[in-house]
Amino acid sequence: MDLPIIITNFKTYMEATGGKALDLAKAHAKVAIELKVSLGIAVQPTDLVMLAAGVSLPVFAQHMDAIEPGAHTGGILPEAIKNAGAYGVIINHSEKRVPFTDIEKNIKRAKDLKLFTIVCCADDVEAAQIVKFEPDMIAVEPPELIGGDISISTANPDLIRKSVAVVGKGRLIVGAGVKTADDIKIALELGASGILLASGVVKAKEPEKVLRELCGALK
């Protein structure tokens, strides 16, 4: 996976479910190829097979459970994610928090299956605890800014600096309220290597156009 990268979290928006998810994924792939930038997507488990097969992008599962194969009705099995074609998995998103002990288990299970791990946390304090488990990358997203119109880049740039110091260069993704190319540019200048965003692209009237504008910050 090339850096810097923008990863769009499709969440469970209807605009990014089923056939619409495939259309949105193809728009990401088109922009990535034409602009020569690195883009990824995080998708619902029900769309994972279709999207992993449908586009040449890093496709992430939005969640997985720290379980082994067996009697775990409703669980999301790491092996199932791997077999579906996922490149990696997002762990501990603020909308899908898991017990701290499960974070370590999930990272180990993912590594055993060669799944790329992005672990989410709220701040540099949590990042300092999680980095000990050696995930591939850590995504810092202050929960109070997620889904809002004020980005981490403008509301709390010092958090990005502190998180880079904790996590190390080349391993930090930031998100929450990121909606403009300036937001992305500031985050990258402060030391982040990736951006995690969602509604700014998914809910846009013209998502491909918005994506192209955002990608200007990666050049």
Residues 6+ apart with CB under 8 A from 50: 21, 22
CB count in 10 Å sphere of residue 156: 21
Torsion over CA: 155, 41, 124, 215 (sign): negative
Q: Which of 28, 63, 93, 126 is catalytic?
A: 93
Whether 206 sits among the annotated catalytic residues: the reply is: no
Whether 141 sits among the annotated catalytic residues: the reply is: yes
Closest-CA residue to 82 (of 57, 60, 97, 50):
60
Q: Which of 28, 63, 104, 141 is catalytic?
A: 141
Torsion over CA: 174, 82, 13, 2 (sign): positive
Catalytic residues: 93, 141
